[in-house]
Each structure stands twice: as structure tokens, then as C-alpha cells.
Amino acid sequence: MRAALPGALLLLTSLLLTGCEEAEMGPAATAPAVPHSGISFPDGWRFSADDEPVRAERGAVSTTDYYASRVGLDILEQGGTAMDAAIAVSFALAVVNPSAGNIGGGGFMVTRTADGETSALDYREMAPLAAHRDMYLDEEGELTDASVLGHLAAGVPGTVMGMWRAHERYGTLPWEALVQPAIDLAEGFEVRERLARSLRGSEESLRIYDTTREIFLPGDAPPEVGDTFRQPDLARTLTRIRDDGPDGFYRGETADYIVAEMERGGGIITHEDLERYDALWRDPVTFSYRGYTVTSMPPSSSGGPTMALMAHILEDYDLTGMGWQSEEMIHVMAEAWKRAYSDRNQVLADTDFVDVPLEEMVSREYAQRRGADIDMDRATPSEQIGPGLEVGEPTETTHYSIVDEAGNAVAVTTTINSGYGSKVTVAGAGFLLNNEMDDFAAKPGFPNQFGLVQGEQNAIEPGKRMLSAMSPTVVTNPDGELFFVTGTPGGSTIITTVFQTIVNVVDFGMSVSEAVNAPRVHHQHLPDQLYWENGGLRSEVVEGLEARGHTLQQRGGTSGDVQAIMVLSDGSLAAHSDPRLGGTALGY
């Protein structure tokens, strides 16, 4: 078994196959078309219901970036498992997708092995030991922007330790072989449109700090399509990680660079913070929806519990009979979402620090009580919906999905929070730091940058992990077999986006490409607005929802970036990358 593809060969292969996903499918290229549901999207919607997913017989990878998908597929073709590929993809995304891929942030991983074992890995960032409850308030008690921009916004990064813990438990290929492809990419890769567009769109913010401008705006301008983008400092950091594992990041030279950057910019992460960080294996949240079993993340993610509550409320309603994206269907989903987000925002938090009524929140009995006051004729104003549970003591992200030949599945969502995180690049180390501290309730009862109004449970404490919406998810069918792997970035919209992909395939029989391409809606309790993607709802549905009392807000741009893989009835795989941001699904 080869340890890794040589860097030059990896890069050459990537460039030769640019834009040629069909070349990756091998024998599966002749497979029959995937059945589609026959559901039609609104006339004004910009994505097709007829897109064919990538077909594969042995393994598939779907990520937001072609190079990262190619790295993952290379690992599978070398005999690595889905878990091996997930580790390699994570490091590759740190190079080719700097707005969200990271070693300066954190994330969550949900796995399902071929024999049915499930696990959840929490490598969320932690508040530094010097953090305190009111650290982002000014003298008048008002919120500042320090939780979003600059050195003080950074939590202690978790990605490197997370990948190490994943390798300890599930890795089959050598650690060095999984980090090396990212090093090869950091030494230089050809810029594609997705990265060029991202850097152009963020050029102003990338100029705020010199260390960031020098790396991401070489020659004082964003790289253009076809340019070779080199990140030598990052290559050296990744080399230390390859050679020394987590000690190559949390101790030694890289740690010195991080602490020096903190001291230079008024941040508070110390050597002690870095040395004490660890990633944690937790019991995943597992719940049933119409006979399918859904496995997702527990706190410090809110994804699993919130989706469980939504699902159990909505199981009492015949969504299929209502019709996809009918006025009635969207109304009842929005009402369920309001109630679920109200509980999410007030009672969920890091369970190592606060008591969370998790068992009750994910129960069918509670869902029946919680949804009992839904009026099918009128929207309930959000101000009338408080949390239904009592507690004890007090948008830029990326997702990828992988399934291997044996049937192992991995769903990973990772982030540095908003686009390019805190905008601070660690001098000498070449990577951006997160601004995850904003995911705490910096001022309980007031909205964060995603509009989420959260309570005391999620207030800042030293060593605490901030609440997240990230929801990497694996679904098995009523026979207990792997069926669907899904996830997305999108800040507060992550949970409703992931849930809608599940509804699309379970309730409406959509193909993976239909489920991903379909227009989405979103409600998060506060603000009391039902969001819909531009062109994604028929005018008569909008009018009907407004007549029921909903306040609708059309959103431009994108809503999520789903990466999904479906296991078909013949055992083959169908993978699809969201066209909203231009990712790539590959298979063999």
C-alpha cells in the first residue's frame, strides 16, 4: 500500500482532470440514470431538478472544492477508509478553501462504520482561560465588534487535535500519508474560479491585517484563475503537524507563533490554552423519522437535538400529502422550526459546563406537547413562543461527506465561523484564526452576527465550548442500512437546511441532486421572519403564507452548500455537490 501520491503527481492529476468529473467514475460512468421524483421546481429557480449526480460503485467524496475532493478520492483509491479520507480532506481544505477550511478553527465529525457503530467527535474551539462573561461589552454595557474581528475573537483551535483523535480511533493509513497531500497543495496549486471569486469578494476585509494581506493578496491583488497560489508558511506548519502530530501545532514552533500573534494583537490564547486543548468523543444524537434513523451531533452542537425536535413534531403531519413546498407544508415546518429554535437558543450549551435537558428535548413525548398549539390557519408570533423546557444551573463553514467501498460513512462540518474568520493570519505560520467566540452569547438576550438570540446557558466561561449549529448527519433506512450522508455550512440556517435535505429524500423521494438543488426556506424563531431563497417560492405560495400571518423575507445570494451522498437500491452511490458555491463530487 502506497503511503501517499507524490506531490507533483497529485497536482498534475488534479490539473488534468479539472472540470472532468465524469473521468472519476470509472465503471460507474455507464450506470443507468438515477431515478428522479418528478417534482418540478419553481420557474424562477436557478438550479435544475434534472441534474445527474456522480455515480460510483466503490467510494465517493463530496466537498466544496475540487482539489479537496480529489485528495479524498486518492486516499480511497489507495485503500484508505472513509475516515482516512476525511482526515486528508480536512487538511486539504485548510489550504484550498481558506475562507472556511482550517487548522485555526474547529468542527464536528459523525461516523458510521460498516458494521453499524456510530460516533460523534467534538473538536469545537474552546474559550481561552482568560476569557470572561463580559469581555465583549464596552463601558456602557453595549456589544463591541471584538467578538467578530481581530485577535480577541479567536477561540482555542481544535481541528488538528480532532483529526489526530479520529486517526487514533479509525485511521488505517499512516498519519504522514494523510497530511502530505495538503503540504503538496500549500507548495502551489492552480487557482480555480471558486477560490478566485471568494478572494475577490473578501478583498477589503483581507486588507485589514498585514499578515493576511501579504498571503491572500500576493502582489497586492487577489490571485486570478490560472495563477499558481503558494503558501510556504502554511506548508511548513503542515510539515510540523505531519512529523510531530498535535505537538506540531499545540506545542513548539507553531504554538510560539500563535502566542506571539496573540501578544501582538491583544489576544488572550496562551501556551497553557493550547497545551490543555483536547477533542472529545461524545454519544451522537440518534432519532427516528418516518422509520429512517438519523444520527447527528450532540452539544456542543445544537444540530442533533434541534432536528430531533423538529422531526418529531412534524411526524404528526402528512407532508407528502400536503405537497412539496405547498403553502401548508411550509407553514407547518416554519411553526415547528420556531418552537425548536426557541428551545435551542435558550437551553442548549456545552454539557461539560451546564445541565441540558437533552433526553427530554429529543423525546417524542415532549415534541407532541411542544407542537400541540400549532394553528394550521395562522402563524404564531415568535414573541408568543418561549422555550418549552426548563434548565438546571445556569457563516463561514464547510461540510464534506465520504463513503468508502466497505460502507463506512463520515460526515464532517468544520469552520472558522464567518468568512476568513477573525481576518487574522498567524505570522510565520500562515493560517487564519477563527472568530468563534461570537458563537457564545456575548450578551445574553441579544443577537449574534447570525441573528441568533441566545440565553445564559451559552454565556462565556473559560474553557467552555461555544454552541454551534453544525449538523453533520448520517441516515440509515428502515432496514438499518446506510442511506444518506449530508451536511452544510450556513450559520444559523444549517439545521433547517440539513433537515430539508432529509425531508426531500424521505418524504418526497427525491434523488440526491434534487434534494440538494431544491430551493430552501428558513425560520429561526427570532427574528420573526420566514426566509426564502430568491426565486425559490411560487408567488401564490408567498401570498398564502403572508395571509396566514408570516413575515417573509427573500434572500439573495446562497443558502448553504450541501455535500451529500446517497446509497441507491442496487448498493451503488450517488453523490452531489451543491451548485450554489461550485463544489465537486467525485467517485470511483
Active site residue 306: no
Could you tell me the three cell numbers for 351? 454539557
User: Alpha-carbon distance 265 to 263, whole Å?
Assistant: 6
Catalytic residue among 113, 159, 397, 497: 397
Residue 179: in which H helix or E strand, if any? helix 175-186
Give me the count of residues in the chain: 588
User: Alpha-carbon distance 177 to 578, whole Å?
Assistant: 29
Compute and round to an integer the Cα radius of gyration of the chain: 22
User: Alpha-carbon distance 128 to 270, whole Å?
Assistant: 8
Name the H helices within 356-470.
Answer: 358-361, 364-370
Residue 273: in which H helix or E strand, if any? helix 271-276
Cβ–Cβ < 8 Å for 159, 106: yes
Closest CA to 503 of 335, 323, 370, 371: 323
User: Alpha-carbon distance 1 to 40, whole Å?
Assistant: 47
Cβ–Cβ < 8 Å for 105, 431: no
User: Alpha-carbon distance 45 to 519, whole Å?
Assistant: 7
Count CB neighbours of 364 within 10 A: 15
* DSSP helix/strand/coil, 170: helix
Contacts of residue 82, defined as CB under 8 A and 6 or more positions apart, other chains included, come to 59, 76, 111, 402, 403, 404, 408, 409, 410
Could you tell me the three cell numbers for 332? 407547518
Name the H helices within 143-209.
Answer: 159-170, 175-186, 193-201, 203-206
Residues involved in catalysis: 397
